[in-house]
């Protein structure tokens, strides 16, 4: 570990193999907290490379007890990094049901609260969705319902070691951006929101190395880790190895301007109410924000040829109650499975 720390301190980048070895040491109880903390802080100061991020993700995926069989070749995720401090309602979680209602298999990776008052796990738990499932159970839910929730601590128990150090050093590290990259399902496509606009192309390159055919990485207006209706969104599209950068405003897709203040959320009960209200068809800024984000997800998957077409498919998913049906089915199936029925 000291060798890798010295190299990073000298502003040298680690190779993919070196980062994989460093990650194994980070996750080892034999490596001191001081060394791990120093390495993570120094790596952040240097700036994380594509190989360094990929190396870390590779080791986490290798250690995940929830690696899902390859048969789910068309699955996608729309998990964001969190960390934007916006206190928004659970945009990506709500959007996940809308994407699933449009006929796309969604392996929704998520955790408890990070930057919002309520994380995806908190709001789903309040809605009655159990959080912890085995690999076969998760696979069954995905096959039966087309959407399942993968609770991060259950997916990556090895992360507990790093969490202790991260809390103690109290500054953002590489672990703050890799959450969306560590889904154990072999996804074909992905929508990733990031609070760091400087990582858009880097994350696209990592996703390419991880085997994604298509992906859309977004940093919203106000540096949100979601698409925002407040102004200009910055996006990078990965399409079979090609990386295309572009911007998007609400006017371009016939949606109203909505300030980020208007989509602030609350506790688990309040956010669960917002989520259900959107899926039940309630009009307003929450629905419009979900239409944009779900539309982008459908476009990222490739089911829609344009973002506008994706938004229309998202609208149809909500209005037909197919998105709401996906939520109701997830509650029913997951509880039935937990009860052994």
Residues annotated within the binding site for Mg(2+) are: 92, 225-226
| Alpha-carbon gap, residue 61 to 231, rounded angstroms | 36
65 by DSSP, 3-state: which? coil
Partner residues linked to 16 by β-bridges: none
| Alpha-carbon gap, residue 161 to 175, rounded angstroms | 12
Which residue numbers belong to the known binding site? Answer: 80, 83-84, 88, 90-93, 108-116, 120, 166, 225-226
Which candidate, 180, 182, 183, 184, places its Cα nearest to that of 193?
180
94 by DSSP, 3-state: which? helix
Which candidate, 250, 213, 208, places its Cα nearest to that of 233?
250
Q: How many CA atoms lie within 13 A of 141 on its CB side?
A: 32
Which candidate, 341, 340, 278, places its Cα nearest to that of 97?
278
Please provide the size of the chain in residues: 341
**Conformational region of residue 193, where left means phi above 0, alpha means psi within -120 to 50, and beta covers everything else:** beta
Which residue numbers belong to the known binding site for 5-phospho-alpha-D-ribose 1-diphosphate? Answer: 80, 83-84, 88, 90-93, 108-116, 120
Partner residues linked to 192 by β-bridges: 217
Which candidate, 239, 291, 266, 224, places its Cα nearest to that of 86?
224
Residue 223 DSSP code: S
Residue with tokens 């239409």: 291
Which residue numbers belong to the known binding site for anthranilate? Answer: 80, 111, 166
Residue 197 DSSP code: G
| Alpha-carbon gap, residue 95 to 341, rounded angstroms | 29
Lay out the sheet containing 76-77: strands in order across.
Answer: 147-151, 106-110, 76-77, 189-193, 214-219, 233-239, 242-248
């Amino acid at each position: 570990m000291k060798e890798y720390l010295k190299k990073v301190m000298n502003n040298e980048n680690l190779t993919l193999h070196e980062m994989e070895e460093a990650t194994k040491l980070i996750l080892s109880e034999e490596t001191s907290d001081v060394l791990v903390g120093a390495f993570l802080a120094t790596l952040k100061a240097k700036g994380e490379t594509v190989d360094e991020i990929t190396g870390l993700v590779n080791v986490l995926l290798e250690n995940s007890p929830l690696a899902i069989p390859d048969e789910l070749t068309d699955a996608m995720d729309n998990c964001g990094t969190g960390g934007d401090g916006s206190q928004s309602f659970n945009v990506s979680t709500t959007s996940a049901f809308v994407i699933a209602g449009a006929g796309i298999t969604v392996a929704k990776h998520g955790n408890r609260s990070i930057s919002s008052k309520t994380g995806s796990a908190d709001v789903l738990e309040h809605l009655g969705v159990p959080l912890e499932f085995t690999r076969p159970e998760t696979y069954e839910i995905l096959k039966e319902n087309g959407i399942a929730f993968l609770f991060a601590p259950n997916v990556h128990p090895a992360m507990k070691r790093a969490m202790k150090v991260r809390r103690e050093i109290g500054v953002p590290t590489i672990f703050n951006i890799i959450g969306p990259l560590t889904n154990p399902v072999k996804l074909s496509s992905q929508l990733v929101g990031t609070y760091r606009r400087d990582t858009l192309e880097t994350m696209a390159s990592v996703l390419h190395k991880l085997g994604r055919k298509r992906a859309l990485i977004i940093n919203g207006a106000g540096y949100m880790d979601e698409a925002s209706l407040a102004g200009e969104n910055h996006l990078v599209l990965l399409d079979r190895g090609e990386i295309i950068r572009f911007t998007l405003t609400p006017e371009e897709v016939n949606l109203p301007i909505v300030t980020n203040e208007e989509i602030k959320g609350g506790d688990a009960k309040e956010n669960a109410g917002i989520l259900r209200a959107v899926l039940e068809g309630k009009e307003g800024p929450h629905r419009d924000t979900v239409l944009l984000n779900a539309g982008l997800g459908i476009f990222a998957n490739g089911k829609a040829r344009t973002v506008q077409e994706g938004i229309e498919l998202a609208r149809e998913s909500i209005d037909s109650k197919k998105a709401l049906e996906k939520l109701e089915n997830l509650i029913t199936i997951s509880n039935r499975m937990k009860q052994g029925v």
